[in-house]
Amino acid sequence: MCRRVECANCGKPSYAGCGKHVEQVLGDVPREHRCSCRAKRKMEEQAAPSILGRLCALTRRG
């Protein structure tokens, strides 16, 4: 079960747990007032090239 927590980075309400009960624990908090640090971090990780991609780029240079 998830529980409401305060984000250590931004201080906004967030959740801890499995992620299946987010609406139950944050249902009274408008989405624009919820922490978005987790989503931002995930987007940054997806935008970064993978280790394999970086290795391939290095071998193409030589």
The token pair at 10 is 């931004």
Per-residue pLDDT for 62 more than 70?
no
- Number of folded domains that form the chain: 1
CA pair distance 28, 38, nearest whole angstrom? 19
Per-residue pLDDT, 10: 96
Tell me the per-residue pLDDT of 22-46, one tens digit each, with 9 for 90 and over. Answer: 999 999 999 999 999 987 877 777 7
Closest among 22, 39, 61 to 5, alpha carbons compared: 22
CA pair distance 1, 28, nearest whole angstrom? 17
Burial class from Cβ neighbours inside 10 Å (0-12, 13-18, 19+) for residue 4 reads middle
CA pair distance 9, 25, nearest whole angstrom? 19
Can you give the residue range of the structural domain that contains 46? Answer: 3-61
Per-residue pLDDT, 24: 95
